[in-house]
Amino acid sequence: MDGDACPVRDEVFRVASRHGLAVTVVSNGSRGVRLPDWVRRVIVAEGADAADDWIAEAVRPNDVCVTADIPLASRCLAAGGLAIAPGGKVWDTDNIGGALAGREVSRHLRETGQETRHAAFGAQNRSRFLEALELVVRTAMRGSPPPPRPLPDFFSD
């Protein structure tokens, strides 16, 4: 788990405990977050992408990475891992390219002085995350990629 500013730590711990899974929280150590005894803590050096680099190098096929960082999610997918955002978005090879492009557009807008904002994180996000995490964990335990989510059919009655 990308531990810097992750709003769903407790949910990850609960699901991992229920399934008997190991959890590693990676951060730069700037936040004194209390973790359960069974959770592995990795503290990396200060630096913009130090935690992301550690995670990307350590992730293995069917490992689950919880991160809001889209480039890190992309690196995890490239390594055969699974990636899920705190809001419940499951990243896959079909949607990560568009997300990376959107991130670059937002970065450009900010550079030109325009504001870009993220919606507040609330109970609905937490619920979506728990549901998606269960699906991703079960998929990882089976050792196969997550099934594609069905698209809504806007043309049927």
Using alpha carbons, list the distances in angstroms from residue 118 to 122, 131, 143.
Answer: 12, 21, 33
Cα distance between residue 101 and residue 112, in whole Å: 17
DSSP 8-state code for residue 147: P
> How confident is the model at residue 145, as a pLDDT?
53
Tens of pLDDT along 114-147? 776 667 788 898 999 999 999 999 988 888 554 4
- Residue 36 has a CB neighbour count (10 Å cut-off) of 12
Q: How confident is the model at residue 110 (pLDDT cuts 50, 70, 90)?
A: low
What's the pTM? 0.78
> How confident is the model at residue 151, as a pLDDT?
47
Cα distance between residue 15 and residue 55, in whole Å: 20
Q: How confident is the model at residue 108 (pLDDT cuts 50, 70, 90)?
A: low
At residue 50's C-alpha, the angle toward residues 46 and 53, to 5°, is 175
> How confident is the model at residue 97, as a pLDDT?
75
25 Rama sector, left if φ>0, alpha if ψ -120 to 50, beta otherwise: beta
Tens of pLDDT along 52-105? 999 999 999 999 999 988 899 999 999 999 999 999 999 998 888 777 777 666
- Give me 122's structure tokens: 């609330």
Cα distance between residue 81 and residue 30, in whole Å: 27
Whether 26 shows a pLDDT value over 70: the answer reads yes
Using alpha carbons, list the distances in angstroms from residue 109 to 36, 94, 96, 102.
Answer: 40, 25, 20, 11
* Side chain identity at residue 68, one-letter code: A
